Chain A
Amino acid sequence: MNEEKVDRLDVVKELLNKPLIKNTIVTAISLGMFILTWWAVAIVADMVYIPTPWEALKALVRSFIEVDPNMGITMWQNIYASLRRFLLGFALALALAIPLGLAMGYSKIFELLAKPVVEVFRPIPPIAWVPLFILIFAYFWGPIMVIFVGVLFPLLSNIYFGVKSVDPILLDAARTQGASRLQIFTKVVFPYTIPFLMTGIRIGMGIGWMCIVAAEMIGVQGGGLGYYILTQALTLGLYDRMFAGMIVVAILGLLTTGIMQYLENVTNRRMGIR
C-alpha cells in the first residue's frame, strides 16, 4: 500500500518536472494571481472604471453573442475588421521591408541612398501619421497604412542588421569556391537573415497591435477593436464593455506573437542557431 503511494508520488513528481507541465502550472498560477489581484483592486477601489473580472467576463460573453446596438455588429465582426487590417498592413510591410532591408544591407550604394530617408521617417510615431493617412488613403486603407509604417521599421532594421551580421568568413569561403555575387546573395546572405527576419516579424506583431488599436480610435470604417474600446469607454462610459475589448486585444496579441515566437524558435533550430 505504502509502496503504491510512493509510486504515485514519484509519478506526480516526474510529471511536475516535465517542462511543459511545470510551465503550464506556473503560468496558470500567475494568471490566477493576476485575476485575484484585479478582483481585489476592483472591490477595494470601488470605482466604476474598474469592473470585477466577473463583470468584464459577462460583458465579454455578451459582446460575442449579442449585436452591439450602437455599432450594429458583434465582437466577432470587430475582431474580423481589426485582423483584416492587421494582416494587410503586415503583408505590405513585409513586401517592402524584405527587399529593402536586403538591398540596404548588401549594397553599399543602396545603403547610402536609402538609410538617410529611413532614419528621417523611423523616429516618427506611427500614430502621428493617422490624420494624414485617413485623408490620403481614406478610412479603409488609412489605418492599414498606420500598421504598415509601424511594422515596417522593426522589420527593416532586423533584416538590415541580419545582412550586416553575415560572417565574413562565410562570404570569403563562398567567393573562394567561385560563387557569383548572386549566388552569394541567395545561398549565404539571404538564408543568414531569416532568423533576424523572424525576430523582426515577432517584434512587429506586438507593435502592429498597438498601432491598429490606436489607429482605429482615431478613424475607422467597419468597426474594429480600437473603435469598440473607445466608444464604450469615452463616449458611453460603459467600462465593463471597454475591458471586454481590451481582453480580446490581449488574447489576440498573445496568440499572434506566441505563434510567431514558436515559428521563430523552429526556424532558429532548423538554421542551427540553437
Chain B
Amino acid sequence: MDKKIAIIAVAVVAIVIVAAFAVTMMSDNSDDDTIYWLAVPPVNQKDQIAQGLIDGGVSWEPYCSDSILSGDAHALIWSGDFWPNHPCCIVAVNNEFAEDHPELVARTVAAHMEATDWILDTIENKDTNPDNYTNLLQMGAAFSGRNTSVVAASLEHMTLLYEINDQFKDYLVNFTEDFIDLDQTTDAAVTARGYSSVEDFVDTFVNDSYMETAATLSKSDTIVGTVRLGFLNGDLHQFARVVASNVTMWEGTAFEGKNLFTQWGVDITSPSPYANGPAVMLAFDTDVIDMGYLGSPPAIVKHLNVNTANSDIRIVAQANVEGSAIIVNNDIQSIDDLGGKTLGTPGPASIQHLMLLAFAEAHGFKIKLSGT
C-alpha cells in the first residue's frame, strides 16, 4: 500500500511540474513591431482597459466616447481620419421579403430616412431648439445605457445618413476584396452566389430603389404590414431606428400615439437586440427577421459564405458613416507606442477589426492574435 501512496505522491508532483511548465509557457513574448488583438465585445472594452486586461480597443459609438469620458482612455485615431466617409452600419432586407413586399420595405426605409433627417435637423438646430436636442440625447441614453454626455460626444464622431453613393459602393468593393484576401470569404463564394465579379456583387447587393420609392410615398393612416426588424444592442450608429421607434416625441401632435414606423404604415416587431452584426445575419438566416440594422462587413461576409435564401439580403440604405476609433489607455500616446500592445476588437468580419488590420499594415506593424 505504501508503494501506491508513493505512486500517488509522484503523480501529484508530476502535476505540479506540468503546472509550473505551463506557467512558464504563458510568459509574454510580445514584440515591439507587432500589435496583438483579442476579441472583446465593444460593450466590455472600457472596463477591460480600466482593469488593464487590454491596452485599448477598436470600438463603435457610444463605447468609444464612453471610454474617453471615463478618463481611462483616449482616441488614438478616429476611423474617419483613417478612412474618410467609410461605410459602417446599413439597413438590409431579405431579398425574397423585399420582392414580395416592396411597398412595405419602402415604407420602412421612409421611416428610417425621416428619422435620420430629424436627427440631423435636431443637431443642426440644437441652439435654437434645445428641447428636441435634449430629447434626442435622452433617447440615445435610454437606448445605450450611457449618459447624455456620452451620447452628445458620440454624435460628434459619426455621421448619420441614408444616401447611397458611388463612394459607398467603392468602399464595399474594397472591403470584399480585403475579405477575400483574408480568406474570410472566397472568389468561389462570390461565384456560387451568382455574381460574375466583386463589382457585380456590390452592384446587385446594394439596392437603392426602395429609397427612390420611399421618396414618392406619403404617410399612411392604416398599417400596411408587419416587419420583423433586427438591430444591435446599444449601438448609436443605428440611432435612426431608435428615433423612428419613439412614440413620446409625437405627443401633442397629429401623430400622437404613433411612432415614425407606424406613421408610415409599418408595424415593427423586434426580437431581443443582437450583440453584433454576425448575430443579426444569423437572425436573417434563421428567418427570425425580415430587415435589420447591422455593419456592412458582416452583411457582406455572411451573405457570401452562407449561401441560403434567408441570407440573400440587400442593402437598402446606409445608417451611418465613420464613428469608430482606436481607443487606448493613457500610457499610449502615439502610434509608435502600439508595438507589443493588445487591442480588443469585435472580431473578424467587423469594420473595426478590418480597420485595425489596415491601420497596422499602413504603419508597418505586424498583427497577431494575443497569446500566440
Contact = CB atoms under 8 A, between A and B. Distances in A.
B15 A91 contact: yes
Given A194-B8, A237-B306, A88 B19 contact: yes
Interface in A127-178: 134-135, 138-140
B295 to A, nearest CB: 12
A115 interface: no
A223 B37 CA distance: 11
A260 interface: no
Contacts of B51: 135
Nearest to A224: B371
Interface string B349-371: 10000000000000000011111
Interface stretch (A21-29, A30-38, A64-72, A205-213): A64-72
Contact of B372 (A92, A98, A186, A223): A223
B301 A194 contact: no
Nearest to A80: B25
A259 B306 CA distance: 39
Interface stretch (A106-114, A228-236, A245-253): A228-236
Nearest to B19: A91
B16 interface: yes
A6 B327 CA distance: 81
A84 interface: yes
Given A91-B19, A231-B348, A236-B349, A139 B182 contact: no
A87 B246 CA distance: 52
A238 B22 contact: no
Interface in A43-95: 47-48, 68-73, 77, 81, 84, 87-88, 91-92, 94-95
Interface stretch (B127-135, B276-284, B315-323): B276-284
Interface of chain A, main secondary structure = helix
B305 A236 contact: yes
B22 A221 contact: no
Contacts of A223: 369, 371-372
B347 interface: yes
A194 B53 contact: no
B188 interface: no
Nearest to B276: A235
B371 A191 contact: no
Contact of B1 (A71, A73, A187): A187
A76 to B, nearest CB: 12
Interface in B21-51: 22, 25-26, 38-40, 47-48, 51
B22 A84 contact: yes
B22 A88 contact: yes
A134 to B, nearest CB: 8
Given A84-B22, A88-B22, A234-B279, A70 B371 contact: no
Contacts of A72: 367-369, 372
A236 B18 contact: no
B5 interface: yes
- Bin the interface of chain A by size: 35 or more
Interface in A181-236: 186-187, 190-191, 194, 219-223, 227, 231, 234-236
A239 to B, nearest CB: 8
Given A221-B38, A231-B348, A236-B184, A139 B308 contact: no
A223 B278 CA distance: 20
A191 B5 contact: yes
Contact of B348 (A70, A73, A187, A194): A70
B183 interface: yes
B5 A237 contact: no
A237 B8 contact: no
Contact of A91 (B18, B25, B285, B308): B18
Contacts of B220: none
Nearest to A49: B306
Given A70-B183, A139-B38, A236-B348, A77 B372 contact: yes
B361 to A, nearest CB: 13
Interface string A231-273: 1001111100000000000000000000000000000000000
B152 to A, nearest CB: 29
B302 A237 contact: yes
A252 B286 CA distance: 31
Contacts of B15: 91, 94-95
Contacts of B185: 236
A48 B39 CA distance: 26
B70 interface: no
Interface of A: 47-48, 68-73, 77, 81, 84, 87-88, 91-92, 94-95, 98, 134-135, 138-140, 186-187, 190-191, 194, 219-223, 227, 231, 234-238
6 contacts: A73-B369, A95-B12, A139-B370, A220-B371, A236-B278, A237-B306
Give 9 closest A-B pairs by Cβ, nearest first. Answer: A222-B371, A221-B371, A237-B305, A237-B306, A69-B183, A70-B348, A91-B15, A237-B302, A91-B19
Given A223-B371, A235-B347, A236-B349, 16 more contacts: A70-B182, A70-B183, A70-B184, A70-B348, A88-B22, A94-B12, A140-B26, A219-B40, A221-B370, A222-B371, A223-B372, A234-B282, A236-B185, A236-B301, A236-B302, A237-B285
